[in-house]
Structures are given as C-alpha cells and as structure tokens.
Chain A
Amino acid sequence: MTEAAIKGNGKKRTIFICQGTGCVSGKSLEITEALKKSVAEQGISGVNVDFTGCHGFCEQGPVAIVEPEGIFYTHVTVADMPEIVESHFKNGKPVERLFYKDPASGQAIPYHKDIKFYSMQQRIILRNCGRINPERIEDYLATGGYEALKKVLKEMTPKQVIEELKRSGLRGRGGAGFSTGQKWEFCHNAPGDQKYMICNADEGDPGAFMDRSTMEGDPLTVIEGMTIAAYAIGASEGYIYIRAEYPLAVKRVRLALKLAEEKGFLGNKILGSNFSFRIHVKEGAGAFVCGEETALMASIEGKRGMPRSRPPFPATSGLWGKPTTINNVKSLATVPVIIARGADWYASTGTEKSKGTCVFALTGKIANCGLVEVPMGIQLRKIIMEIGGGIPGGKKFKAVQTGGPSGGCLPENYLDQPVDYESLTAAGSMMGSGGMVVMDEETCMVDVARYFLSFTQAESCGKCVPCRVGTKQMLDVLIRICGGEGRPEDITLLQEMGNNIKAGSLCALGQTAPNPVLTTLRYFRDEYEAHINEKRCPAMVCTALVRYYILPDKCMACGICARNCPVEAITGAKRMVHVIDQEKCVKCGTCLEVCPEKFSAITKVSGKELDVPREPTPIRVEKPKVQAVT
C-alpha cells in the first residue's frame, strides 16, 4: 500500500457503513452513531461518515468501506470505532485485524476490489448498491442517474424504447423469463387511454432478498426504470407493490418517490415534456400468491389476492380492467442501464437466449452468504465454490436449490451446467426470482421437499382444486415418509400427484409447487427409498427415524447429559454408565450437544438399534462390545 493510497490521495475521505437489513440486524445503526461520536471526539477533519444500502456480502456484516481508497472492513462493532478513527484516519494506518481474510489462505485482503467474492461478479442491477447513500438523490444523479430518462424523453419515441428493450434481450427477472420488450409492446398496442405500470416488489420466496436489497440500496434506479416503462406503454399511474415485512425498503422507496417528485422526475410534465406519471406505494399484507400478477392486481384493488385464469392477459385487461404491465424490481433496475449504454452493450453479456446478468441470493450451507450478480451462462460451480467460497466446515456438497419453493434441487453433476433460463428448466428447476440455497451432506432431501411443500401448501390460495387438495395430499405423504410410516407405493403416488398438480393448476404457484418433490425424487431417489424401505434417514435429520445412544465404553459418568435432558430420559449415577430411555427420549439432540468433546460418548444412528445395556452399569469395568442388531 503506498502512502498516497492510505491517505486517499489527499482527498476528503468518506467512510460508508452498510445499512442494509442484514447489517442493521448486526447493529450498524449504533455503529454509525459511535463512529460519528469518535470522529467528533478525536477532532478529525476531512472525514465524512455516511451510509449505504446492502453491499451484498452479508456474511461479513456489518461491513464498512472507506472511499476513495476502497479499504473494506468486516464484522465491525461499536467497540472498533475509536480504533478505526485513531489508527486509520489519524495515523494513516488501516486496522488490519478488521480486513477480510481469505478463507483458503488466511491472508488479510484490505481492498474491496481484490476480494474474490466481488471481483468475480459483474454488477449491473446492483451497480449502485453499497456505493451510494440511498436516501440522497444527489448521490444517484452523480452516478449517471436519470440520464436514461432524459434521453428517453428528449430523443426517443415509446416505440423506439420498446425496440431497444427487445434488442437488448432482457427477460423478466421475476421468474418466468418473458421478454420485457414484448411485454411492453403488448401493453403499448392495447387500446385504452388509461394504462397502469406496476412494479412487483412482493418478494416472497423464502431465502431470496435481492429485491429488498435493491430497493433499500438503490430505490431510484427502480423508480427511473418504472418511469421509462410507463412512458413506453403509455401509463400515467403506477404502483409499487411491496411486502410490508420489508419496513426499511418501504421507508426508502417512499422517501425516494418524494425526492424524485421534488426534482421533477415524477409528477406532471416530467422534465418539461408532455409525459406525466405518478407512483403509489401499496404494501402487501403477507400472501405469497400475490407475487402472481393477477393475484397482485386483485390485492391492489382491495380484494383477496386470488389469481384468475388468463387470457385476458394484464397487457389488455389488468388493474381495474385496464391495460397493465407488471415488471419485477430487477428487470426495472436494469432498464436505465440498457437505455444509457445501449442494447448492444447489454446483449454482449450472457448466453444466446439469456442476456445480461442475474442476481442470486446465495444462502444455506455456504461460506460466503450474500447477494451475487453474475453473467448469465456462468457455471453453478463457479458461483458456489469460488464466489461463494464453498461449503464451510469441510462438509460435502449435496444439492443446490434454485428458484425458491417453485424450483428444484440439483445434485453435484449439474454443477458444471451453465446458469440460464433454459438449462435450469431442462434440469427440472427454474431461475425463479433467484434464490440459491446450498445444501450439504447433513441436509435430508426428503425433509427439504417436505419443507418446501409445507410452505406452498400453506400459501395456496384455495381457489383451484389441484393446488388446494393436491398439495395437501402430497404433503401428507411426505410427512408420513419422514415420520417412518412411508409405504413402498408412495414414490409412484407422489410422482403421479405431482404431475397432475403441475398440469391442472390455475396459476404458477400450483404449477410449480411439486418441483422440489419431483426433482428430489429424480436425483435423490435413494434417500426416499432409505426412508421408506429401511426406515433410515441417511442425513439423520428426520427425528422419527433417529435414535441417540450413550456408548458404554466412552461414558465417564459426568452426568452433564442427564442434567440437560429436557424430558429426564437419561438415568445414571456416580461412576455408572448413563442410559437413555428410548421410550421417553424426544430426540432433541441436547445430550449430543452437551456431551464433552473429550468423551464424545453420545452417538446418533438411523435405521438400526444399538445393543447397549438398558440399565446403568459401572464404568470401564469391562468394555461391552456394541453391535448393531438390526
């Protein structure tokens, strides 16, 4: 590091604390206050304390970045602030212990740009997230914000905007992957004077938070994209339908709308043109199915959010029967860049049929949890093993689940497949909204299928029979299998019901709900068979199929397990080998957790019983041999 780099080339320094939901949960609001206090107390000038939205590297949160040099601090706490101020800002010596450590080499990496998690990404949608203050419109304008809208209003007709979008190859990032340009064209061509533009920000997939982070980190991009879309289709009114469970995103979007209106980017005769556009915020009241466009519109109209059959499509008859376009947050956030930099530039990234980049929320059993934006066509292996840093704790990769509850679980031999709409669908999964949950060998695939189905089953709106009744029946079968009551015919039954529900349901919720079950049946059938035929859970997750035993040759009669057992199922005495009463045991696993590592006397087994004494016996008098009896 050169002297100049440390001092930020003599320019004024800004330290940005991340205030995305993840880092706020890690007390980043308190950290910001502590930092301001330290700067004031130590009398430092030329240092500005500011905040940004989500950086995406939530695993390392709370994070802070010092600009212009780009020093990146991880896992910062209130207590670290005086040290950062004194060492870095006063003495020009960045605090090395707070640098990111490369998990493979252990080497400390001071600069944001050198961290693999970031350097392998290509950020278009998230270009400003973590780099600007989302509550100041000046920051957005300084990054080239609203240049695209100016260009559209001054130089382009709505038809030209649509052509540009079509040429860019942008496809809906909400999941289905329909061409955004075409969607706009249908609505543009539909007869009617009143049209509506809706932003679908009802991100309901468990394990996906990219829409939330985009709205928290760069709300004006979404609003600019929406305004351009409204111009293209000819809408004067717009709605952002956003989950009420995302209070910070709601707050920042409302503020951004106010700021945009004050600057004349929204409202009457925008930027002196003849185009007027207003945006309202509608807070979703907690129904997953409202991510479906017809259900979402019913909800805006104040009704139960139930989907209806299509056609008519929203482009001709949508909100209040008027032509309506609904786009996802990420699609809209891409629009200003496509206009500003051109369709050819955008189309140069990605594959033949899937252009541009996609954002994944990388979570589960992965070292680097967070948001990653990568070019379409990248291999899953690169995302998981390189950007994601692989599986922590030396565990083995088992599956990756893409597309949320509607997607599927893919095994290791799919890791070299390119990620795009077509290949994921061919593998039985889908792009969906971009959730990517990594599972290791300790994850039971039958349990995961049961988990996803219990989610979709609970969220089924109940309107059509295949989804309402079918998912319930499938769930009952899965619960039976996990509970050790599975029957040999269950596998065929699940497949049959799954295919019927896919074919017969009214909306995408039902049409995709069986995917997690069908893909796990396809790729992890052996686990279903083990549950059904051997009453064994290979990952030892399903509680009904596991048993805990105390190994007589290892137990040192310390009594910790007996004291911690919540149901008093463990008996023993001083110098007596302790015993678990299998009748009383609720299989909570507490004994395994508390047994001192030096003894490691508790074992967990599935599909067999161990022949251990039923009553406490004196320790280490003789070492009884442990044998499996079944």
Chain B
Amino acid sequence: MITLAKDTLTKADVQDSLKDIFSHYEGEKHELIPILQETQEKFRYLPAAAMREISRFLGVPEANIYGVSTFYAQFKLTPLGKKVVRVCRGTACHVRGSGKVLAEMEKQLGIKAGETTDDMEYTLETVACIGACALAPTMTIDSETFGKMTTKKVAEVLGDRSSNKG
C-alpha cells in the first residue's frame, strides 16, 4: 500500500502562477510538456486544478493531459516532501550494491521508494542513472550528490540533514 499525500490545491491557489507561466507560451498543443514541467517546478507536483486550467489554455482534453502526465516519470500527481531523496539504481550502482543502500534508506525513513514520510519531510525515489557512475553507488538529496555510498553512510547523510532542520 503506497501512502500518498493529498492534492489539496484549488483553482484559486493555482490561477496567478499559471497566468505567469501561460504568458510566455502561444497556447499550442506541443507546448504541453514544457508547461507541465514549469507547473511542476512551481508547485512541486501537478495539482488537478492546474491540469484543468492547462486543458482550457491549450484546448487539449483533460484526459490527454492526464495521459501525458502519468506517462513520464518526471511528473508527480501528489505533493512531494520537503526533501527529495533519490537513490540511483543504474547498472554501475547496482553491481556496486545500490540495492542495499536503497533498502537501508527505506528502513531509516520508514517508507518505500515512491512514498513520502507522514511529516512531509522526505520523499524517497529511485532514479535510473544520474551519470556519475565513477561514484557508484550514488544518491542525491535535492541537488546534492553523495557518492560511494554504503549502508553505514545512509544514517550519516540523513543525519546531516535532520540536524540542519534547526
């Protein structure tokens, strides 16, 4: 059972930001993916209310927008935690033991890959390859990369983070 955070944003919450985003697009159908990318950058996920507005702006049925946003791994339909932890599951990382790193991360955070902690602090994801294979196994927390991971280092990288919370 995957625990997902609730999508609570309404039309009023998203309207102003979307107006900004739409201002530099023509309203053509092929602009859908970049618009979704910008929307997600703004809200850190794709609120259903925003997808309805995008549908009106581009003249693309909501069902198609849902189809596109569920097809690509980048798009999230539920809010992400404050910090996103991504454990690389690329080949180089796999043969150097990233499976164990992921298992340890799941244990420490108490969630499975794809889930968000109840306090909305962490979302745990896997990524196919971040292309830093010499540092395998690798993981990232937001934009920071951690290389040559071990199960022991998991607590260390999370520990750093939790003490930063203040």
Q: Does B134 interact with chain A (Cβ within 8 Å)?
A: yes
The answer to whether A25 and B138 touch (CB under 8 A), given A364-B92, A369-B133, is yes
Using a CB-CB cutoff of 8 Å, which residues 497-533 of chain A contact chain B?
none
A220 to B13, CA, bound (A): 42
**How near does chain A come to B127, taking the closest CB pair, in angstroms?**
7
A209 touches B132 (CB 8 A): yes
Q: Which of B107, B127, B128 has the most chain A CB atoms inside 10 A of its CB?
A: B128
B90 within 8 A of A: yes
Cβ-based interface call for B34 (8 A): yes
* B8 sits at the interface (CB 8 A): no
Min CB distance B65 to A, Å, is 10
Q: Within the complex, which residue of A246, A285, A301 is in contact with B72, where a contact is CB–CB below 8 Å? A: A285
Q: B68 at interface (Cβ–Cβ under 8 A)?
A: yes
For A212, the chain B residues whose CB sits under 8 A away are 131
Whether A304 and B37, one on each chain, are in contact in the complex, defined by CB atoms closer than 8 angstroms, is no
Q: Which of A421-463 contact B (CB under 8 A)?
A: 435, 437, 439, 443, 448, 451-452, 455, 459, 461
Q: Are A363 and B133 in contact (CB under 8 A)?
A: yes
> Any chain A CB within 8 A of the CB of B33?
yes
Q: Which residues on the B side are within 8 Å of A589 (C-beta)?
A: 100
A155 to B135, CA, bound (A): 47
- A207 on the interface (CB 8 Å rule)? yes
Mask: chain A, 359-386; 1 = CB below 8 Å from B; 0 = not: 0010111000110000000000000000
Q: Which of A282, A286, A435, A459 sits near B74, CB closer than 8 Å? A: A286
**A512 to B60, alpha carbons, bound, how many Å?**
34
Contact, CB under 8 Å: A21 / B131:
yes
Q: How far does the alpha carbon of A245 sit from the alpha carbon of B86 in the complex, in Å?
A: 12
With contact pairs A288-B128, A566-B107 given, residues A207 and B71 touching in the complex (Cβ less than 8 Å): no
Interface: A141 (CB within 8 A):
no
Partner-contacting stretch, out of B24-32, B77-85, B115-123: B24-32
CB distance from B97 to the nearest CB of A (A): 10
Listed A/B pairs (27) with beta-carbon separation below 8 Å: A21-B130, A25-B135, A25-B145, A26-B135, A26-B147, A58-B132, A58-B133, A58-B134, A207-B91, A207-B129, A208-B131, A245-B130, A285-B37, A285-B74, A286-B74, A287-B72, A288-B128, A301-B30, A303-B64, A303-B68, A364-B92, A364-B95, A365-B96, A369-B136, A435-B91, A437-B91, A448-B94
Q: Do the beta carbons of A207 and B134 come within 8 Å of each other?
A: no
Supposing A364-B96, A404-B91, A437-B95 touch, asked if A208 and B129 sit within 8 A by C-beta, the answer is: yes
B6 to chain A minimum Cβ distance, whole angstroms, is 24
Choice from B36, B90, B96, B103 contacting A206 with Cβ under 8 Å? B90
Q: Which residues of B lie under 8 Å from residue A562 when comparing CB positions?
A: none
Q: Let me know if A363 and B136 touch, CB within 8 A.
A: yes
Do A304 and B71 have beta carbons less than 8 Å apart? yes
Min CB distance A501 to B, Å, is 20
| Shortest Cβ gap from A329 to chain B (Å) | 13
B67 within 8 A of A: yes
Is there an interface contact between A245 and B135, defined as CB atoms closer than 8 Å? no
| Cα-based distance from A288 to B90 in the complex (angstroms) | 13
Expressed in whole angstroms, the Cα–Cα distance for A24 and B140 within the complex equals 13
Please, which residue of chain B has its CB at the minimum distance from the CB of A438?
B95
Min Cβ gap A76→B in Å is 15
Choice from B29, B95, B127, B147 contacting A302 with Cβ under 8 Å: B29
User: Is the beta-carbon distance between A588 and B103 smaller than 8 angstroms?
Assistant: yes
Q: Enumerate chain A residues within 8 angstroms of B12, measured Cβ to Cβ.
A: none
Docked complex Cα distance between A203 and B33 (Å): 18
Q: Chain A 158-183, CB within 8 Å of chain B: the 1/0 string? A: 00000000000000000000000000
Q: How far is the CB of B38 from chain A (nearest CB, A)?
A: 10
Residue contact A437 to B134, C-beta cutoff 8 Å = no
B1 an interface residue at 8 Å Cβ cutoff? no
Q: For the complex, is B73 an interface residue (Cβ under 8 Å from A)? A: yes
Tell me, in angstroms, the Cα distance from A212 to B60 when the chains sit together.
Answer: 33
Given A302-B31, A363-B133, A363-B136, answer yes or no on A455-B92 (Cβ-Cβ < 8 Å). no
Chain A residues whose C-beta falls within 8 Å of the C-beta of B146 in the assembled complex: 25
Known: A401-B91, A451-B94. 10 other contacts (CB 8 A): A22-B134, A58-B132, A247-B143, A282-B34, A285-B74, A286-B72, A300-B30, A302-B32, A363-B134, A588-B151
Q: Are B33 and A285 in contact (CB under 8 A)?
A: yes
Q: How far is the CB of A485 from chain B (nearest CB, A)?
A: 19
Question: Which of B34, B60, B71, B95 touches A283 (beta carbons < 8 Å)?
Answer: B34
What CA separation (Å) do A495 and B141 show in the bound complex?
41
Q: Which residue of A lies closest to B133 (CB)?
A: A363
For residue B89, which residue of chain A has the nearest CB? A206
How far is B89's CA from A589's CA once the two chains are assembled, in angstroms?
A: 20
- Of the candidates B33, B60, B73, B129, the one having the most CB atoms from chain A within 10 angstroms of its own CB is B129
Partner of B128, one of A303, A448, A455, A566: A455
B57 part of interface (Cβ distance < 8 Å): no
Collect the chain B residues with CB atoms within 8 Å of residue A247's CB.
143
Among A61, A209, A287, A448, contact of B131 (Cβ-Cβ < 8 Å): A209
Cβ < 8 Å to B, chain A residues 257-285: 282-283, 285
Residues of B within 8 A of A69 (CB): none
> Would you call B22 an interface residue if the criterion is a C-beta within 8 Å of the partner chain's C-beta atoms?
no
- The 3 nearest A-B residue pairs measured at CB: A58-B134, A209-B131, A286-B73
For window 37-67 of B, CB contacts with A under 8 Å fall at 37, 60, 64, 67
From A302, A361, A589, residue with most partner B Cβ within 10 Å:
A302
Q: Are B92 and A363 in contact (CB under 8 A)?
A: yes
Known: A61-B134, A301-B30, A302-B32. Is A244-B74 also a contact (CB below 8 A)? yes
Residues 175 to 231 of chain A near chain B (Cβ within 8 Å)? 203-209, 212-213
Contact A439 B33 (CB under 8 A): no
Most buried by B among A204, A208, A439: A208
A21 CA to B143 CA, complexed, in Å: 11
- The distance from the CB of A248 to the nearest CB of chain B, in whole angstroms, is 10
